[in-house]
C-alpha cells in the first residue's frame, strides 16, 4: 500500500494536488474537511456537532474525526493506498493515524508538507472564496483557521520529521511545478514500496511455475534469466551466441553478460508492483549485482523464498520434463542435469547463505501439489 498524508496550511493547495494524484496512483482520497462538509449537508448527528466549530474556523474534536475516518477506511478496504488531506491536524490525530495504519497492517509512507506563508494563504483563500461557496472562506474565519494551523497543527510535523518521513515542498510555485515536485516524491515511494521477490531452489523445485503464478497474482514482472537468455539466443544476438556455448554444456555464462539484460528489464518495465527473480542471482557476484541494481533503482529485496525439494525428487522431475514438450535444452542429458545440480550447490548455496545473514529467508516445502505450494508461498509473502 502507498499511504500519503498531505500537510500544509489552508490554501496551500492540498485538494488541488490530491486531485492530480488519486487517479494516477489509484489512492483512496480522505479529506476530513470534505467528509465533515458531507456530514453537515446530510444533517447527521456528527455534522450537527461539527457545524458551528467549522463555521468559526476552529478544529473539530478528535473524537468526531476518528469516527469519520474509521468509517471511510472500513468502507474502502481494497484500495492501493490512502491519501489523507487535512489529517492529522493534532498530536492525538497523529496517534490515531498510526493506530489505523497498524490495524491495516501497513504504515504511512510519507507526509508531504506543502509550505506556504500566511499572507499568501490568506490571498489564495479569499480568491477561492469568490467561487468555492464555502462559508469559512472569509477573512475573519480564514485568519482563525490559520491560527489553529500554526498553534495546533504545525507542531505535529516534528513527529514525522523525527520518523524521517517528512518531505517539505515549496507551495508558492504554480500548480504544475508543485505537482511535479509532489509526483517525484510519490514515484520514489512507489519504488521503495515495490514487492521484489527472489525465488531460490534446486532446478526442478518449481520456481518457474510458482514465480509466474505469483507474478500474475501480485502484478509483478517475472524475470527469469533463463527466459531472457532464450530470447537472446532465439534472436541470435551477440549475447545469445555467447551464452549458447556455455548453456549447452550446462554451465553458467560469465556474469557481465547478464548485467545488461537484467538492467534493461528493470529500466524498461513500468507500472508493475515489483519484480520476481528466478534463476538470478545464481552466484555471489550476481547477488552483489542485483543488490546494486535494485538500490540504483531506488528499491530493494522484499522477500526471499526458498522452495525445498529433495535432490532426488528434483532430478526425477527434470528427467520427466525432458520427455515432454516443455523440455529445456539443458534437461536433455543426465550429465547436464547433474551439472546444473552441481553448479547450484557450489555457486548458488553460498548466495543463499549470504542472504540468510541479511534477510529472513522463507523456506517452503515444494513437494506438494502446485496449488499447495503456491498457497504456502502466498502465506509467507503475506506474512500469514
Ligand atoms: P479543510 O477542508 O481541510 O480546510 O477543513 C475545513 C474545516 O473542517 C477545518 O477548518 C476544521 O474546522 C474542520 N476539520 C477538517 N479536518 C479536520 C481535522 N483533521 N481535525 C479537526 N478539524 C478538522
Question: Which residue's CA is the closest to the ligand 1 atom numbered 6?
Answer: 33
Quick one: pLDDT at residue 384? Answer: 56
pLDDT digits (tens, 9 = 90+) for 170-187: 999 999 999 999 999 999
Residues 6+ apart with CB under 8 A from 61: 49, 53
Q: Which CATH class is domain 2-27+79-191?
A: alpha beta
59 in contact with ligand 1, CB cutoff 6 A: yes
Neighbours of 317 (CB within 10 A): 19
- Test site for ligand 1: of 33, 66, 89, 111, most ligand atoms within 8 A of the Cβ: 33
Instruction: Note the pTM of the prediction, 2 decimals.
Output: 0.74
8 in contact with ligand 1, CB cutoff 6 A: no
Question: Which residue's CA is the closest to the ligand 1 atom numbered 3?
Answer: 33
pLDDT digits (tens, 9 = 90+) for 236-248: 988 888 888 887 7
pLDDT digits (tens, 9 = 90+) for 39-97: 999 999 999 999 999 999 999 999 999 999 999 998 987 788 999 999 999 999 999 99
* 2-27+79-191 matches 197-382 in fold: yes
Domain boundaries, the chain: 2-27+79-191, 197-382
Greatest distance between any 2 Cα atoms in the chain:
85
CATH 3.40.50.300 fits 197-382, yes or no: yes
122 and 143 in contact (C-beta within 8 Å)? yes
Residue percentage of the chain with pLDDT more than 70: 99
Quick one: pLDDT at residue 200? Answer: 97
5 in contact with ligand 1, CB cutoff 6 A: no
Q: Take residue 42 and report the three cell numbers written for it.
A: 446530510
Examine the pLDDT at 160 and tell me if it is beyond 70: yes
Three-class HEC string of the chain: CCCEEEECCCCCCHHHHHHHHHHHHCCEEEEHHHHHHHHHHCCCHHHHHHHHHHHHCCCCCHHHHHHHHHHHHHHCCCCCCEEEECCCCCHHHHHHHHHHHHHCCCCCCEEEEEECCHHHHHHHHHHHHHHHCCCCCCHHHHHHHHHHHHHHHHHHHHHHHHHCCEEEEECCCCHHHHHHHHHHHHHHHHHHCCCCEEEEECCCCCHHHHHHHHHHHHCCEEEEHHHHHHHHHHCCCHHHHHHHHHHHCCCCCCCHHHHHHHHHHHHHCCCCCCEEEECCCCCHHHHHHHHHHHHHCCCCCCEEEEEECCHHHHHHHHHHHCCCCCCCHHHCCHHHHHHHHHHHHHHHHHHHHHHHHHCCEEEEECCCCHHHHHHHHHHHHCCC
What is the number of the ligand 1 atom nearest to the C-alpha of 90? Answer: 20
Quick one: pLDDT at residue 103? Answer: 87
Quick one: pLDDT at residue 213? Answer: 97
Compute the distance from residue 106 Cα to the ligand 1 centre, in Å.
Answer: 25
| Mean pLDDT, range 7-20, rounded to an integer | 95
d(CA 209, CA 175): 47
Compute the distance from residue 87 Cα to the ligand 1 centre, in Å.
Answer: 8
pLDDT digits (tens, 9 = 90+) for 200-252: 999 999 999 999 999 999 999 999 988 888 888 999 988 888 888 887 777 77
Question: Which residue's CA is the closest to the ligand 1 atom numbered 15?
Answer: 33
Where does residue 220 rank: exposed (0-12), middle (13-18), buried (19+ CB within 10 A)?
Answer: buried
Compute the distance from residue 90 Cα to the ligand 1 centre, in Å.
Answer: 11
Compute the distance from residue 93 Cα to the ligand 1 centre, in Å.
Answer: 12
Inter-residue long-range contacts of 235-240, CB under 8 Å, 24+ positions, other chains counted? none
d(CA 40, CA 136): 13
Name the one residue in this structure whose C-alpha cell is 500469514: 384
53 in contact with ligand 1, CB cutoff 6 A: yes
Amino acid at each position: 500500500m502507498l499511504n500519503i498524508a498531505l500537510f500544509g496550511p489552508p490554501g496551500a493547495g492540498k485538494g488541488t494536488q490530491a486531485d492530480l494524484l488519486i487517479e494516477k496512483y489509484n489512492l483512496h482520497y480522505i479529506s476530513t474537511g470534505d467528509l465533515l462538509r458531507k456530514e453537515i449537508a446530510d444533517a447527521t448527528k456528527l455534522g450537527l456537532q461539527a457545524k458551528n466549530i467549522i463555521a468559526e474556523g476552529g478544529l473539530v474534536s478528535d473524537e468526531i474525526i476518528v469516527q469519520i475516518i474509521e468509517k471511510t477506511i472500513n468502507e474502502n478496504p481494497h484500495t492501493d493506498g490512502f491519501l489523507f488531506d487535512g489529517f492529522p491536524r493534532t498530536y492525538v490525530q497523529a496517534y490515531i493515524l498510526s493506530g489505523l495504519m497498524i490495524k491495516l497492517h501497513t504504515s504511512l509512507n510519507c507526509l508531504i508538507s506543502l509550505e506556504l506563508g500566511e499572507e499568501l494563504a490568506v490571498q489564495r483563500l479569499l480568491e477561492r472564496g469568490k467561487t468555492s461557496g464555502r462559508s469559512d472562506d472569509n477573512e475573519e474565519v480564514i485568519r482563525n483557521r490559520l491560527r489553529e494551523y500554526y498553534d495546533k497543527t504545525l507542531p505535529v510535523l516534528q513527529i514525522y520529521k523525527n520518523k524521517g518521513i517528512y518531505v517539505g515542498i515549496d507551495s508558492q510555485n504554480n500548480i504544475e511545478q508543485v505537482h511535479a515536485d509532489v509526483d517525484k516524491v510519490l514515484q520514489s515511494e512507489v519504488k521503495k514500496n515495490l514487492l521484489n521477490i527472489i525465488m531460490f531452489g534446486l532446478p526442478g523445485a518449481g520456481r518457474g511455475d510458482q514465480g509466474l503464478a505469483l507474478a500474475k497474482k501480485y502484478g509483478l514482472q517475472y524475470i527469469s534469466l533463463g527466459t531472457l537468455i532464450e530470447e537472446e539466443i532465439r534472436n541470435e544476438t551477440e549475447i545469445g551466441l555467447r551464452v549458447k556455448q556455455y548453456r549447452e554444456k550446462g554451465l553458467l555464462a560469465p556474469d557481465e553478460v547478464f548485467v545488461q539484460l537484467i538492467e534493461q528489464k528493470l529500466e524498461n518495465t513500468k507500472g508493475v508492483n515489483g519484480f520476481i527473480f528466478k534463476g538470478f542471482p545464481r552466484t555471489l557476484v550476481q547477488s552483489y549485482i542485483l543488490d546494486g541494481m535494485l538500490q540504483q533503482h531506488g528499491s530493494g529485496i522484499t522477500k526471499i523464498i526458498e522452495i525445498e525439494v529433495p535432490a532426488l525428487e528434483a532430478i526425477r522431475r527434470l528427467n520427466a520434463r525432458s520427455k515432454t514438450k516443455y523440455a529445456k535444452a539443458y534437461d536433455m542429458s543426465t550429465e547436464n542435469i547433474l551439472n546444473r545440480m552441481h553448479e547450484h550447490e557450489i555457486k548458488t548455496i553460498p548466495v543463499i547463505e549470504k542472504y540468510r545473514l541479511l534477510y529472513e529467508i522463507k523456506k517452503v516445502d515444494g513437494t506438494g501439489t502446485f496449488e499447495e505450494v503456491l498457497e504456502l508461498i502466498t502465506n509467507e509473502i503475506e506474512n500469514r
